[in-house]
Amino acid sequence: MGVAIRRSDLSRRLAKAEQQVAAMARHTKLANCNCCPQDPTGIGIPLLVTNTKEFEAKMNLPCPVHEFRHLGKLVVVQFVHGDRTIAEESVGLNKVVEEYEHRLSAYLKSNPELGG
């Protein structure tokens, strides 16, 4: 009987050690994530999107952990001149944001565990 208790105790300790190693591996992997930044409470910080080329560069940079880079909540602001024409840095911004949102939707559909 004493051997059985020792084996179950050993199995329990081994399972706990395996969980700790797996948690450390996940933590190390997530340290390389470049998705949306989080504030200390764990809530995503909104990304202010004003420049088409800059946003396009951000959305095309993959995350080394998730492959697709999730940029979080977007706040899109287009600059407009006094004559109501869109400023050069904002031309095409809505189209690029729509493309990103389409990619995000497709990514979340194929990875439902990420909470889409």
- The residue extents of the domains of the chain are 1-31, 35-114
pLDDT truncated to tens, each residue of the chain (116 aa)? 555 567 788 888 888 878 877 666 665 666 888 888 766 676 778 999 999 999 999 999 999 888 899 998 999 999 889 999 888 988 999 999 999 999 999 998 988 766 54
Question: CB of 71 within 8 A of CB of 47?
Answer: yes
Query: What pLDDT does residue 99 have?
Result: 97
Query: How much is the pTM?
Result: 0.67
Q: Which two tokens stand for residue 112?
A: 């439902």
Reduced to 3 states (helix: H, G, I; strand: E, B; else coil), residue 80 is strand
